[in-house]
Amino acid sequence: MLGNTWGFASSNSLEDALPMAERAARAARHGTRIPFRDEEPVEDKVMIRAGIDPQGVEVAEKKELLYRGEEEARKHKGVASTSIVYLDSATEYRYMSSEGSRIESAYPRVALYATVFAKGDGKLQMGSERMGGTGGLELLQRVEDGARGATERALRLLEAKSPPSGAFRVVLDPNLTGVFIHEALGHAVEADHVIQGESILTGRLGRKIASEEVTIYDDATLPASFGFYFYDSEGTRGMKKAVIDRGVLRTYLHSRETASVLGQERTGNARAQGCNYQPIVRMSNTYLEPRDHSLEELVEDIKDGVYLIGSRGGEVDPGRGVFQFSAEEGFLIEKGRITQSVKDVALSGETLRILEEIDAVGKDFGTHIGFCGKAAQQVPVGDGGPHIRTVATVGGA
């Protein structure tokens, strides 16, 4: 940063540090002036220590995790094939700024993806589960649970029928709640989208945009979560902040630049995939806060509805505020009871209407791991929440 402008340059070699600094300074001299606030320099050295450090574990022991998951899935008749993928990483960051900040941080991360295909009567269905977080192999010791969950879902879907179509009261499981919060809301509160006029939430700070049952956080401090970090890529401390507080939009997610442009407090959400990428506004762990209902209570007064589980992806337009997701699995809700399994279920609607129609929030809580893509960068994130009840359009995927 030079005066009220900033420039960016990168290299994979420490020997190029000085030339890169000079190149960034030249870019800053010709950049757009931004009213950056003066910041006190930060000096810190922080790290996450893995309970079972993957870097100290032999490959054979890691493969044993995969074999355990494979063995669990193969216990079930009807399983045609399985795919169990393991990954780990150990990332060290050294951040130095022209303002005098010197920050070192280190993060081990692990993840495991289990996908199971079941076959019967000429039909093929898939179930999947994923687990992991910021930490070590201790986070993957329940690999059998993940493989079992994926297997049971694939087998159920062999017997499932097509879903009904129309507007229904729906219950979303924690996984799909998290995907909705991340995709439909989270990208709309990224301040660069707001500044570019690509968000349905432009100009809505301080306004009620959801029911009073809804409080949503973006939280880089959530222990063991996949999107955990101590500092973002601009040296701002990661924090927990309420994006929506009892229905009211309280903040956008900011980098230093977007916070300065909009005259707001920075939130520690400038993230880069690596040193050769420019930091941009990204989520960390985005989730809906639990309340006080059990799943049974969410379902019991629904005469005709659908219970939706998991996600197989979808499309979101944060500028228009519309979305469509494909649930991994669904169940009919009939006279207050969860009944028949349904497959290939699509969920669509308007983001703000879905938020306004949430009339009950569960007391359970779960998070989901993944990598979020934006501007050709991938960063680890988490999303989640409890079961929720709302109204949406359901149909065949």
Average pLDDT per consecutive 10 residues, the chain (397 residues; last block may be shorter)? 61 74 74 70 95 95 95 94 96 88 96 96 93 97 95 95 94 96 95 95 96 98 97 96 98 94 94 90 98 97 96 88 93 96 94 96 95 95 97 88
pLDDT of residue 290: 98
Coil, helix or strand at residue 53: coil
Q: For residue 25, give Cα distances in angstroms to 1, 18, 67, 238, 239.
A: 7, 11, 52, 27, 30
The model's pTM: 0.92
Residue 204: exposure state from Cβ atoms within 10 A (0-12, 13-18, ≥19)? middle
Q: For residue 387, give Cα distances in angstroms to 4, 177, 239, 241, 354.
A: 46, 7, 25, 21, 14
Extents of the domains making up the chain: 1-33, 46-158, 166-396
Condensed to tens digits (0 to 9), the pLDDT of residues 105-162 reads 999 999 999 999 999 988 999 999 999 999 999 999 999 999 999 999 999 999 999 9
Assign domain 46-158 to its CATH architecture: 2-Layer Sandwich (3.30)
pLDDT of residue 60: 96
| Phi-psi map region of 27: left, alpha, beta (phi>0 left; psi -120 to 50 alpha) | alpha
Stated length of the chain: 397
In angstroms, the CA 2 to CA 20 distance is: 14
Condensed to tens digits (0 to 9), the pLDDT of residues 16-32 reads 777 877 777 777 776 66
Say if residues 276 and 302 touch (Cβ distance below 8 Å). Answer: no
Q: Name the one residue in this structure whose structure tokens are 């199971």.
A: 116
Q: What amino acid is encoded at 334 in this protein? A: E
pLDDT of residue 1: 47
pLDDT of residue 313: 83
In angstroms, the CA 266 to CA 148 distance is: 43
